[in-house]
Structures are given as C-alpha cells and as structure tokens.
Amino acid sequence: MTGTLLSDLGQRQQQLLSIIDATPEVDCYRQFHPDLSPLAWHLGHCAFIESYWISDRVLGNDRRTRETEPLYFPELSPKTKRAARMPGKSELLAQAKKDFAKNISLLAEIDKSGQSQALLANGYLLYFLLQHHCQHLETMAQILQQRAYQQDWQSYEARGIDPVEPSGDRITVDASNVEIGNPNEAIAYDNERPVWSTTIDSFGINKRPVSNSEYLGFMRADGYQNKDWWSPRGWHWRQSLAIDAPDHWRQDTDGNWYSLTATGPANLGGDDAVYGISFFEAEAYSHYADGRLPHELEWEMAAARQVIAPDQAWEWCSNHFFPYPGFHPFPYDGYSLPWFDDQHQTLRGASLHTLAPVRRPTFRNFYTPEKRHVFAGVRVAFDLD
C-alpha cells in the first residue's frame, strides 16, 4: 500500500512541476484573480508543505522549512505580495524537484522504520499530502482558466446551444435515519469526521446537475432580470456587478454563447453541467425551476443510496459549512475550524478538474457565496407535498 501511495504522490509532484515547466515565466508569477495566488506559489507551497509535515512534524527537524515559512504559510503571506518574494522559475523548479525527491526518500525510510504516531497511522500522512496536492492542482486549473479570460478571443465563431426547460427527471428519497461522514480515518479530512447519525425527511432531487442548455433557458426567461427568483442579498450582488451569465461564458458576434477554457474558446455542450456560477445564481435558478438547493446532508444521503453521484461541477448546497457533532481539528486547526463562520456555503460533488483522491461523496468543499471561479454549478432539490 505504501509503495502505491508513494507512486501516486510522485505522480502528483510531477503534475505540479509540469504545469510550471509548460507555462511562460511571466504567467507563472502573475495574479490572474484576486482570490488566486500566482501559479508558481502553488508549486513552492506544495514542496514546502511536504517538507514541513515530514521533516518538522514527524522527524522533528525544522531547519528545512524555517526560512520559507513566512512565504508558504498562507496566513503569513498575502496573495498580492507572494510573487515578488519568490525565486525565479528555473530556481523554483530545481528546488522543488530536489525537495520532492528528498521527501519521497524520507517517506520510504519512515515507513521502513515502523514509527508509530497519529500522523503515520494507516498511511494518514501520505493520504493527507496526496489530497493536498490534488486540491492545489485543481486551483491551478482555475488559475489557467482565469488567464484565458484575459486574452482576446473576439474572432471565435460558436456553434451555440439551444435553451431548454428545467429537467423533470428527479428521484424521491424517502425519509430515514442515516449515518453521515467518512468512517475511513486514514483518508477523511477532519470536517468529514466523526461519523454521526441523523434523521432526514423525504425530499426530491434531480438525477443530474443543471445543464448548460437548462441554464440558458433560465437566462432567456429573464433569469438575471426577474427579482422574484433572487434572495435580497443575491439580487444586490447581481445588480452591483451587472452579472448576466456564467463566469466563463462569452458571446460571438452572432450572439451564440461559448466557453472560455484554459486552452482557449470551445463550444458549450448543451448536456454538460453548467459551472462558473455563484451560490446566488444557483439559488435563483433553483427558484426558477420551482425547487430549492439541497442541504448537504440530503446530498450525501442521496449519494450514499447511489441515486446521484459527483459529476462535472461542484454543487452549491443551501447550508453554511458547519462542524459535525464531536468535531475535533486534525492534524492542525487551520484547515476547517476558521471557516465555521456562517459565511461559507458548503459544496458537494466534484468538477471535471477534481482528481480521484478527493473525489468522494463525503468530501466537503466550502466557499463564500459570491465565488464564481471554482467550477461550481447547481443541482435542484424539491420539497414533497
């Protein structure tokens, strides 16, 4: 098992290196979105996090990371100032390669030594690092997409899609007492623990998330102009920013909508899940479709019964991110605890850029409701009469 995990970690290390290697140096150090760090910082941060947890926390040697803590601990390093403090691309790649190789070697040695501590139990540290890198790889995909937004694609001619009515393809989930959370302590993040029981009332939920064609139907039905479908806060947000389409949608000279991706413009797939929308937009669409957003516990219950599954976009849920009963932060306070602030909405599912180690029904994502860069869409739920 450890050999397989080390191989998987090495693969993610190589993906991180390859993204920086393939990106022009000037773009590695630009901040393309206020919420996103420069690409180069993510590579340095991932190498630092490996070294910190392996050398500092397991082996008790803080000399490897002490000097770079002010740059790579997010709370010590404002996003706008990170690029200016970083080494150039060649130096960064060389140092990251060296650190990655050293850390793989140390992890193999630790495994052979048979050390016993909570961070190592059942491969926890390896799973932790593997998932950490996968999350940063998805964030790097967000950055590359934001980079594409700043290029001129005016000459693109789109095929376009047709608007359709909201889907009526839904499932009824019967009320029952269910277990919520992830029983696998080696893999689960702290906010997925502990497993707990609760009763959930009957509800309806669509089999699939909302498609691009369905969302275009919302837009053509004056979805961005009809105040009745929006919450007061959402309506204020929409008006203040003049939002009228998903984050990555653009129109050609004939008025056909297309998608901007990390590699440039592409035709929208009518049946593909819409993404690039905020919680406010997801909420407004659900009201237009005579439904509502699911609570994340409803979502997990439906996923546990295998009537829905993670698809092509993260899915906004109706509830704030909250601690499960008996929550205990691990392996550090900062991953989940600060965000139980009634300001962050929970998202469930996965996007096209979500990698296998974090693609599971119990995984909980969380963002403030105005975010549109996070590959998030919507699935509609319904109260039963």
- Residue by residue, DSSP assigns 232-262 as HHHHHHHHHHT--S-TTEEE-TTS-EEEEET
Q: What's the DSSP call for residue 55?
A: I
Inter-residue contact 289 to 193 (CB < 8 Å): no
Q: Tell me, what's the pLDDT at 375? A: 98
Q: What is the pLDDT along the chain (385 residues), one digit of tens a residue?
A: 588 999 999 999 999 999 999 999 999 999 999 999 999 999 999 999 999 999 999 998 888 899 999 999 999 999 999 999 999 999 999 999 999 999 999 999 998 887 888 899 999 999 999 999 999 999 999 999 999 999 877 789 999 999 999 999 999 999 999 999 999 999 999 999 999 999 999 999 999 999 999 999 999 999 999 999 999 999 999 999 999 999 999 999 999 999 999 999 999 999 999 999 999 999 999 999 999 999 999 999 999 999 998 899 999 999 999 999 999 999 999 999 999 999 999 999 999 999 999 999 999 999 999 999 999 999 999 999 7
Residue type, 305: R
CB 53 within 8 A of CB 128: yes
pLDDT, position 115: 82
Percent composition of the chain: helix, strand, coil (DSSP 3-state, to 5) = 45, 15, 40
The angle at the Cα of 201, spanning 198 to 206, to the nearest 5 degrees, equals 115
Chain centre distance of CA 178? 26
Contacts of residue 19, defined as CB under 8 A and 6 or more positions apart, other chains included, come to: 39, 43, 137, 140, 144
CA 371 to chain centre: 11
* Closest among 381, 384, 383 to 166, alpha carbons compared: 381
Best CA proximity match to 377, nearest among 263, 308, 305, 293 = 293
347 in Cβ contact with 138 (< 8 Å): no
All domains in the chain, ordered by first residue? 2-149 (1.20.120), 170-382 (3.90.1580.10)
How much is the pLDDT for 62? 80
Query: In whole angstroms, what is the distance from residue 320 CA to residue 249 CA?
Result: 28
C-alpha to C-alpha distance for 311 and 374, rounded to whole angstroms: 14
Report residue 171: phi and psi, to 5°: -120, 145
pTM score > 0.85 for this model?
yes
Given a contact cutoff of 8 angstroms between Cβ atoms, the answer to whether 190 and 202 are in contact is: no
Evaluate whether 20 touches 92 at the Cβ level (below 8 Å).
yes
d(CA 385, CA 364): 29
Residue 152: its pLDDT value, please?
A: 79
**How far apart, in Å, are the Cα atoms of 93 and each of 32, 126, 318, 371?**
21, 22, 42, 31
Structure tokens belonging to residue 83: 């690029």
Q: Report how far apart, in Å, the C-alpha atoms of 100 and of each of 38, 63, 83, 91, 133 are.
A: 20, 16, 21, 14, 12
CA–CA separation, 106 and 113 (whole Å): 10
Q: Are 380 and 205 in contact (CB under 8 A)?
A: yes
Q: Which residue has the tokens 């599971």?
A: 360
Provide the pLDDT for residue 154: 75
Distance CA 136, CA 39 (A): 10
